[in-house]
Structure formats: C-alpha cells, structure tokens
Amino acid sequence: MAQQHQVSPLAPAAFPELPPISGVTLAAAETGIRYKNRPDVLLAVMPAGTTVAGAFTRSKSRSAPVDWCVDSLEGGTARAVVINAGNANAFTGKAGVATVTAVAKAAAKQLGCKPHEIFQASTGVIGEPLDPSFITNALPQLAQQAKPDQWAMAARAIMTTDTFPKAATARVKLGGRTVTINGIAKGSGMIAPDMATMLVFLFTDAAIPAKALQKLLSKAVGKSFNCITVDGDTSTSDTVLLFATGAAGNSTKGLKADGDELKGFAKALNGLCMDLAHQVAKDGEGAEKFIEIAITGAEDDKAAHRIAMSIANSPLVKTAVAGEDANWGRVVMAIGKAGEKAIRDKLKIRIGGITVARNGMRDPAYKEAEIMPHMKGRHIVIEADVGVAKGKARVWTCDLTHAYIDINGSYRS
C-alpha cells in the first residue's frame, strides 16, 4: 500500500477547470489492483476517426503497455485509452503481453472497434504480474458511466506517489474554429529525460492528420517533458499520448506540422505541455523547491542541454538547494563533469540573478548574504555561461530532501 504524503508546497492553488472536449468521455473505477478506497483504472473513450500521436520511454526494459502502444500507433487512429495505477506491468514477460492483449480485446468488444485502437498505459510497481481481470471486469461499468466532465477524477485515478493531480487546458483558433486542448499527467519520481515514470494524456477536438499530429507532439515533448528531471532515473513506462477527435469541424486541407495554419495550435500545445512538465517537477518526491537551470555559451544547443541536465541531476547541487546553501562550487563541478566543452577561465555563474563567479573564479563583488533571500524562496534560478559558442538550453528540476528517501524506501510496503 502506497503511503499518503503531504501535498507538495509547490502545488497549484487549485485544480484547473477543464472544459469538455467534444467526443471525449471518461470514467474511473476502484478495482483494488494495489490501492484501496481510490480510483485506479481510467477509461477515456473517443469517437471513430480520432487520430493519435505518441512519445515513449527509450528504456531498453520498457513495459508491455508501451510496446502495445508503439505497435498500435502505426494505425494512426484510436477509440480509447485504458490506464491503471499501482502496477506497471513491466518486466512481466509473456504474462504482461497476455494482459495488454486481453484488455485490448475486451475494450474493443465493448466499444465495437479493433483491438489496436485501444491504447494502454500502466504505472506502479515493476516486476509484478497484472491480472487482466481487475481491468476487464470493470470495463462494462466504465463504458456505461463515461461522461465528458470527469477530468478531476481522471487525473486522480492515474496517480501513484503524486501528491496532487495535474492538469492543464488551452484554447486556440484553427481553421476558423475555436479548438480546445486538455491534458492530464502523473509523475513524481523516476523522472528523467526520455520522459519518466510519467504518464501524460492530451485530448483535443481539433481535426489534425496523424502524421502532422505526431510531428507536433514530438516537438512539444522535446521542449517540455524531456527538459525535466527529478532523480535522473528513466522509467520503463513513460507514455505521452495525444488524441484529436476532429469534432471541432475545422478543415484539414493543407494542414502540415510546419505550416502557418498550425502555428497557433503548436504554440498552445507547447505551452500546455510545458505547464504539465513543470507540475511534474514541482511534485518531485519530497520536493520543497523548484529549480530552473539556464545554460548559455555552449558549443550547441544539445551540448547546453547535457550541461544543464548534469547540474539538474547532481545530488550535491540538489541537496545544497534543499539546505538553502548557495554552494556554487557544486555547479562548477557539475559543469566540469558533463563531458561537453566549457572554458574554465570564461565560466560565469549567476544564482537568483546575482553573479557569484566569473572569469574562472569567485566574483570579487559577491556577498553571500545578498543571495540568501533567493535561496530561501521556492523558485531557484541557476544560470551559467560556459564561454564556448552560442548554444543554449533551459531545464527544470527540484531539490533533493530526506523525504525522497522516506517515500522510496517504503514504496512497496
């Protein structure tokens, strides 16, 4: 049984109000897969013709549901997604394959569609077989009870060690119509680029062809979910799925991912993904502080990203922030170990807008007392210029507190 933990101090003040997405209905049920007295299986149903795009973990030990989704994406259409919390159905061999197959067939029969139009995701403990009957027995009830206004329950149903449900919404004009995008996410630990023990489900009533939708999602993921980290551990189960029902009725003629017609939609999607990504980082297990890291002066953007992640994943940097210690020497260390070009004697570091080091040494004007108010805040900003070229990147993480040990030391108990 997962323990209940105090809500992150970085949590939003309230759950956002998500409007209905035309064609999307949702329902959640308590099945007892692992948790008691809370929903743990979610069904989202979409109309025929819904297009789909996805992004997944790059783990070499990815879960059975991830394999199923990757194969199913080739069809380009979806009718439903089934998600469970409490069991990741990962490293479960042939039993895992049998479970996702059974769930897909049962849901397809319920909805009158093909099994590979049923997408799936699981999150929770790795290595424990998942009995499909927990899910298949609940499907008739879920299909019957699905409604368009169940976003809050849906966001809660997919949580594991999360301390708050995560959601965001956006509206934008497309083809003369107003279209809506809603998103829910879960993620708290095992969070690193190439996504994380993170599940994200995005829904829009826009009509967008699957190929264009995939390009839009891949770009959005690269700027958001692949720029956060909590602990540097990449999960077996990372899944981001974007469904477009087409119910808004906009024209799809000439729609291309890099075309002018989709610029507004792309911007809205990027912003929504960034919002959800930040919420995941802010709910990092035991998090007390949200950390933003900006790198400039790198050889190229990819090098800047690797340097930024080296800082973001450093336990020494993260524990210093937790202790409200402006130990910029740890930032120097993390830059040096990143394996990317950096000119030591041109290095410049700022924390909270205050220059702490430049020209390869401590800034003579730096006074630690000036930076302490920033270190006591909830949002910490670390900037570094490595003096090589014009590459830049920005990533987000959280501090590392003793609560992270408490949560993960008792995760299976």
**Distances, alpha carbon 263 to alpha carbons 121, 208, 219, 248, 269, in Å:** 30, 13, 12, 17, 10
Do 300 and 269 share a structural domain?
no
CATH number of the domain residue 82 falls in = 3.60.70.12
Q: Is the pLDDT of residue 192 over 70?
A: no
CATH number of the domain residue 315 falls in = 3.10.20.340
Do 303 and 234 share a structural domain?
no
Q: Is 161 a catalytic residue?
A: no
The region of weakest confidence among 97-106, 283-292, 329-338 is 283-292
Q: Is the pLDDT of residue 3 over 90?
A: no
Do 268 and 157 share a structural domain?
yes
Separation between Cα atoms, residue 81 and residue 83, nearest integer Å: 7
Binding-site annotation, residues: 160, 186, 197, 285, 408, 413
Separation between Cα atoms, residue 275 and residue 164, nearest integer Å: 14
pLDDT tens readout for residues 119-167 = 999 998 889 999 999 999 999 999 999 999 999 999 999 998 899 999 9
Q: Kindly give the interhelix angle for 315-322 and 301-312, rounded to the nearest 10 degrees.
A: 60
Closest CA to 349 of 379, 324, 320, 382: 382
Give the tokens for residue 389.
């070229």
Q: Is the pLDDT of residue 280 over 80?
A: yes
Do 216 and 100 share a structural domain?
yes
Q: Is the pLDDT of residue 230 over 90?
A: no
**Into how many domains does the chain fold?**
2
Do 296 and 258 share a structural domain?
no
For residue 153, the tally of other CB atoms under 10 A from its CB is 16
| Last-in-domain residue among 260, 282, 304 | 282
pLDDT for the residue numbered 72: 98
Q: Is the pLDDT of residue 190 over 60?
A: no
235 inside domain = yes
Phi and psi dihedrals of 392, rounded to 5?
-145, 155
Domain that holds residue 393: 290-409
Instruction: Give 286's pLDDT tier (boundaries 50, 70, 90).
Output: confident
pLDDT for the residue numbered 237: 83
Q: Give the active site residue among 31, 123, 197, 397.
A: 197
Q: Is residue 186 within 8 Å of residue 85, measured between CB atoms?
A: yes
| Last-in-domain residue among 261, 282, 303 | 282
Binding-site annotation, residues for substrate: 160, 186, 197, 285, 408, 413
Do 264 and 323 share a structural domain?
no
| Last-in-domain residue among 227, 259, 282 | 282
Do 271 and 187 share a structural domain?
yes
pLDDT for the residue numbered 403: 79
1 inside domain = no
Instruction: Give 233's pLDDT tier (boundaries 50, 70, 90).
Output: low
Do 207 and 144 share a structural domain?
yes
Separation between Cα atoms, residue 80 and residue 87, nearest integer Å: 20
The region of weakest confidence among 7-16, 161-170, 252-261, 355-364 is 252-261
2 inside domain = no
Return mean pLDDT, the chain.
93
371 inside domain = yes
Mean predicted confidence (pLDDT) in 202-223? 97
DSSP annotation of 208: -
Helix ranges (H only) for 242-300 are: 263-282
